[in-house]
């Protein structure tokens, strides 16, 4: 019997990919509102399924482990986030705002790769990519370039060039003529991505998909796109500044806690081997509202400056709370603890908090730094220039120890800080630095010389 198929109009959730027979205000799959978009669904064929030629189940003891090891990209910051490099047969999704440097990073990656690579430009012409490659000195002899949006032609190019790494820029502009839906629709993005994932696994090649992002910075397209790939990377930064941050929100081959730092220059992206010095380069000492905090991103200690500006609010108007690089909910909670447990009048103050450079950080070791910077701003008393702080603040006003204290202290000592205020139960360290222990937030405020009537120079050990 001849095969047949039929198409029908459906409404698909752009967040989770759930299909609905008609439009509704709320998705029944994920519960999000106003995420259903029209799509064309192709019915299945009545042709009997072809038996699979794939091997059957294997005992776990018989599975070899000689493959699946990461291969270095020769870009140190990228290797840090990927846990050593790219794994053959893996599929990576890279997202970021337009103009942030995604294409630049991937061209530099392909230029440093020793084997053959393929760059599929589905948005720019070959001439545009060539000019960028020349500017980046990425005109590599083993780098193949193909300006194409049709998936069958892209698969033919992969078959012809036999690359080790393939970049698809971007997945939202690739279309498969065999799918009835329009280019860029949920069905097209999902179908094209699934076929590319199959090619990567069957031919043992690494594929990197570039994805668009929404207004709130999340990856555009169906949520299932993030589920079928092995790694999801987020490239962040402000186009008006040179600093770029690379994070992994999903990584099947390693940790998702590492942070890669780049600086955008005229010759491309340059790794930042010493981010602590970069973040503290413009720091001014003796200014109220500033605290230095040794933080941890994965296995990497980074010392940052937390800045807080406090201003008397307007009577009858709720105080403003603004956070850049910090979690706004966490900031509100810390200010509530300050007012309730330490009697610091923060409830009627407009508070603006930020990390130096606006780098996004969320680890609990920042709590004490945010609190002391807020007290410093409210009471207009600066912290001593040679003092750093770290620790988690509980709802009862107690200070809790955080992990990797020794690495934090070593990094602070390397940068010239001689004293660090830490929770009272923090472990000892071999770093040449003096520990000032505090059991509660109130004790830490007094130890920093930020008491209501304390002189600025007063700093005592608890």
Query: Phi-psi category of 81—alpha, beta or left, where left has phi over 0 and alpha has psi -120 to 50?
Result: alpha
- pTM comes to 0.82
**Same structural domain for residues 245 and 308?**
no
Where residue 331 sits, what CATH number does that domain have?
Answer: 3.30.230.10
Residue 61 lies in a domain: no
Rounded to whole angstroms, what are the CA distances from 112 to 75, 122, 141, 190? 8, 22, 11, 30
Q: Work out the percent of the chain whose per-residue pLDDT is above 90.
A: 62
**Does residue 436 register a pLDDT over 50?**
yes
Residues 31 and 175 in one domain: no
CA distance 256 to 327: 19
Same domain, 18 and 146: no
CB 222 within 8 A of CB 27: no
Given a cut of 60, whether residue 153 has pLDDT beyond it is yes
| Whether 325 and 235 share a structural domain | no
Task: Tell me the residue ranges of DSSP E strands in 115-230.
Answer: 117-121, 143-147, 165-169, 206-211
User: Does any domain span residue 1?
Assistant: no
Residue-wise burial string across 45-59, b where 16 or more C-beta atoms lie within 10 A, e elsewhere: eeeeeeeeeeeeeee
Phi, psi of 264 (to 5 degrees): -80, 120
Report whether pLDDT(327) > 60: yes
| Per-residue pLDDT tens digits for 87-113 | 999 999 999 988 899 999 999 999 999
455 found inside a domain = no
User: Residue 238: what pLDDT?
Assistant: 78
Q: Distance between CA atoms of 305 and 31, rounded to whole angstroms?
A: 39
So what's the pLDDT on residue 245?
92
Residue 459: which pLDDT band, with cuts at 50, 70 and 90?
Answer: very low
Mean pLDDT of 424-452: 92
What token pair was written down for 108? 């530099």
Q: In this predicted structure, what is the pLDDT of residue 34?
A: 80
pLDDT, averaged across the chain: 87
What is the rounded (10 degree) CA torsion for 374, 378, 384, 387? -10
The DSSP annotation for 340-361 comes to HHS----TTEEEEEEEGGG---
**130 and 84 co-located in one domain:** yes
150 contacts 173 by C-beta, under 8 angstroms: no
Three-state secondary-structure class, residue 375: helix
Whether residues 101 and 220 fall in one domain: yes
Residue range 12-36: mean pLDDT, rounded = 79
Residues 6+ away with beta carbon under 8 Å from 23? 11, 36, 38
Integer Cα distance of 388 and 399 in angstroms: 15
Q: What is the pLDDT of residues 156-196, one digit of tens each?
A: 999 999 999 999 998 999 999 988 777 778 888 889 999 99
Q: What confidence category does residue 198 fall into, taking pLDDT thresholds of 50, 70 and 90? A: very high
Residue 48 lies in a domain: no
**Is the pLDDT score of 423 beyond 90?**
yes
CA distance linking residue 332 with residue 340, whole number of Å: 12
Q: Is the pLDDT at 429 greater than 70, yes or no?
A: yes
Q: What is the DSSP code (8-state) at residue 44?
A: P
- Is the confidence at residue 220, as pLDDT, over 70? no
What sign does the CA torsion over 353, 356, 361, 367 have? Answer: negative
Q: Strand pairing partners for 95?
A: 211, 234
**Do residues 296 and 417 share a domain?**
yes
Within 10 A of 163 (CB to CB), how many other CB atoms are there?
24
The radius of gyration of the chain from alpha carbons, rounded to an integer in Å, stands at 26
| Domain endpoint, select from 237, 272, 307 | 272
State whether 122 and 207 are in the same domain.
Answer: yes
The reported pLDDT for the residue numbered 67 is: 67
In order of 48, 120, 146, the CA distances from 161 in angstroms are 34, 12, 11
- What's the CATH number where 197 sits? 3.40.50.300
Task: Identify the domain containing residue 336 by its residue range.
Answer: 277-447
Instruction: Supply the DSSP symbol for 430.
Output: -
- 191 and 166, same domain (yes or no): yes
Question: How do residues 377-413 score in pLDDT, each as one tens digit?
Answer: 999 999 999 999 999 999 999 999 999 999 999 999 9
**Angle at 266 (CA atoms; ends 262, 270), nearest 5 degrees:** 25
Cα 366 from Cα 361, distance rounded (Å): 8
Q: What is the DSSP letter of 106?
A: H
| Token pair of 356 as six digits | 């130096």
- Residue 284 CB partners (closer than 8 Å, separation 6+): 290
Residue at 59 is within a domain: no
Residues 282 and 256 in one domain: no
Same domain? For 361 and 296 the reply is yes
55 domain residue, yes or no: no
Q: What is the mean pLDDT of residues 1-26?
A: 70
355 with 305: CB under 8 angstroms? yes
Q: Which residue carries 């990377």 as its tokens?
A: 233
Domain boundary among 253, 272, 291: 272
Question: Torsion angle, CA of 235/240/74/231, rounded to 10 degrees?
Answer: 0
Do 368 and 388 lie in one domain? The reply is yes
The two structure tokens encoding residue 411: 């990094």
Q: 42-98 pLDDT, tens per residue?
A: 654 444 444 445 667 888 888 776 667 899 999 999 999 999 999 999 999 999 988
| DSSP β-ladder status, 117-121 and 143-147 | parallel
Tokens of 186: 């949920």
- Domain total in the chain: 3
Peptide bond into 203 cis (omega under 30): no
The answer to the question of residue 391 being in a domain is: yes
Instruction: Give all strands of the β-sheet with 7-13 in edge-to-edge order.
Output: 19-20, 7-13, 36-42
**Residue 60 placed within a domain:** no
From 272, 287, 303, the end of a domain falls on 272
Asked if 32 and 10 touch (Cβ cutoff 8 Å), the reply is no
Structure tokens given for 209:
């998909």
Confidence of residue 7 (pLDDT cuts 50, 70, 90): low
Residue 11 tokens, joined:
């409404």
């Amino acid at each position: 019997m001849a095969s047949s198929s039929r198409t029908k109009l459906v409404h698909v959730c752009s967040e989770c990919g759930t299909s609905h027979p008609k439009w509704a205000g709320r998705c029944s799959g994920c519960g999000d509102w106003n995420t259903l978009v029209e799509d064309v669904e192709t019915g299945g064929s009545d042709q009997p399924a072809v038996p699979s030629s794939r091997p059957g189940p294997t005992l776990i003891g018989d599975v070899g482990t000689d493959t699946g090891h990461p291969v270095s990209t020769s870009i140190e910051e990228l290797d840090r986030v990927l846990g050593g490099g790219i794994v053959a047969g893996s599929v990576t999704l890279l997202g970021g705002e337009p103009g942030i440097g995604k294409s630049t990073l991937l061209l530099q990656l392909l230029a440093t790769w020793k084997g053959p690579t393929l760059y599929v430009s589905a948005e720019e012409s070959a001439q545009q990519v060539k000019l960028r490659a020349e500017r980046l000195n990425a005109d590599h002899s083993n780098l193949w370039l193909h300006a194409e949006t049709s998936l069958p032609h892209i698969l033919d190019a992969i078959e012809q060039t036999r690359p080790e790494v393939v970049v698809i820029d971007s997945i939202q502009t690739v279309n498969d003529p065999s799918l009835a839906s329009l280019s860029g629709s949920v069905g097209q993005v999902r179908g094209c991505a699934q076929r590319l994932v199959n090619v990567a696994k069957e031919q043992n090649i690494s594929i990197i998909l570039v994805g668009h992002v929404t207004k709130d910075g999340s990856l555009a397209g169906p949520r299932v796109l993030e589920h079928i790939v092995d790694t999801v990377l987020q490239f962040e930064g402000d186009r008006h500044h040179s600093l770029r941050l690379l994070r992994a929100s999903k990584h099947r081959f390693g940790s998702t806690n590492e942070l890669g730092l780049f600086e955008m220059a005229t010759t491309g992206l340059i790794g930042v081997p010493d981010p602590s010095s970069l973040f503290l380069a413009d720091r001014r000492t003796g200014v109220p509202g500033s605290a230095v905090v040794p933080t941890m991103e994965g296995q990497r200690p980074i010392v940052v400056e937390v800045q807080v500006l406090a201003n008397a609010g307007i009577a009858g108007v709720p105080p403003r709370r603004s956070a850049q690089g910090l979690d706004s909910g966490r900031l509100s909670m810390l200010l509530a603890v300050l007012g309730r447990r330490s009697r610091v009048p923060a409830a009627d103050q407009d508070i603006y908090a930020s990390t130096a450079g606006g780098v996004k950080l969320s680890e609990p070791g920042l709590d004490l730094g945010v609190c002391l910077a807020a007290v410093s701003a409210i009471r207009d008393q600066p912290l001593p220039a040679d003092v750093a702080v770290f620790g988690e603040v509980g709802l009862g006003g107690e200070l809790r120890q955080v992990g990797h204290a020794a690495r934090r202290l070593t990094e602070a000592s390397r940068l010239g800080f001689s004293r660090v205020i830490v929770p009272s139960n923090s472990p000892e360290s071999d770093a040449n630095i003096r520990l000032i222990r505090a059991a509660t937030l109130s004790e830490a405020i007094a130890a920093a010389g930020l008491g209501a009537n304390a002189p600025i120079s007063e700093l005592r050990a608890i």
